[in-house]
Chains A and B, each alone.
Chain A
Amino acid sequence: AQKITQTQPGMFVQEKEAVTLDCTYDTSDPSYGLFWYKQPSSGEMIFLIYQGSYDQQNATEGRYSLNFQKARKSANLVISASQLGDSAMYFCAMREAPTNYGGSQGNLIFGKGTKLSVKP
């Protein structure tokens, strides 16, 4: 079963506008973490923001904020005031707590990504 779903293969946004990238997840573990990474055309994976399952407030990092709706199992990334340099692939990822029965080892499970293009 797919654990991380990003339903938007590609999105366009006008420079200086805000954009929301969708991410839904599936887990029965009460303890988990949610991450967003940016992958520009150069190929590197850049960590953007983290949200823990027990965090009471939505995470924010500069122009990035994470709209965490636990009951809906969604963790959407909001980028405010888009810039041309924001054009990239964006990956949502989840980390479940390690288990002793051979399940998660704390590794990240990634969605398929959303390609964001910022128009001047």
Chain B
Amino acid sequence: DARVTQTPRHKVTEMGQEVTMRCQPILGHNTVFWYRQTMMQGLELLAYFRNRAPLDDSGMPKDRFSAEMPDATLATLKIQPSEPRDSAVYFCASGFAYEDTQYFGPGTRLTVL
């Protein structure tokens, strides 16, 4: 049963600290999306990779957020420095090409104090 995995599932940190979230897409999928879910904004796109290349990261605050795919089995989302407004659930989703259904990981619930 292939699934997207994300670590950590929960993260509590203090303002100013660096946060790294990791995602392992489903084997064989070549598109990876990072979404953020908040009560106010709902689900919104942060970044998108195809074949490990970043295609769109216009949804991310560039000064503090960065997303990378060092290899086909790992995508990372970093926040440095973190702020209380970054508190949210961060989802990774993967698919095979944009036409495919996107399958979501369990999410990382981030709380910045």
Contacts and interface: CB of A to CB of B under 8 A. Distances in A.
Contact of A95 (B44, B56, B98, B103): B98
B23 interface: no
A120 interface: no
A97 B107 CA distance: 26
Chain A interface extent, by class: 20 to 34
A108 B43 CA distance: 9
Given A45-B91, A95-B98, A113-B42, A105 B56 contact: yes
Contacts of B33: 107-108
Contact of B55 (A93, A105, A110): A105
Contacts of B56: 105, 107
B24 interface: no
B60 interface: no
A38 to B, nearest CB: 11
A97 B99 CA distance: 8
Interface string A32-46: 010101000011111
B48 A105 contact: yes
Given A43-B89, A43-B106, A47-B104, A110 B48 contact: no
B102 A44 contact: no
A91 interface: yes
A97 B98 CA distance: 8
B43 A91 contact: yes
B94 to A, nearest CB: 12
21 contacts: A37-B104, A43-B89, A44-B104, A45-B91, A45-B104, A45-B107, A47-B101, A47-B102, A47-B103, A93-B43, A98-B98, A105-B48, A105-B55, A107-B33, A107-B45, A108-B33, A108-B102, A110-B42, A110-B44, A112-B42, A113-B42
Given A44-B107, A91-B43, 7 more contacts: A45-B107, A46-B104, A50-B101, A93-B43, A95-B98, A107-B45, A112-B42
Interface of B: 31, 33, 35, 42-45, 48, 55-56, 89, 91, 93, 98-99, 101-107, 109
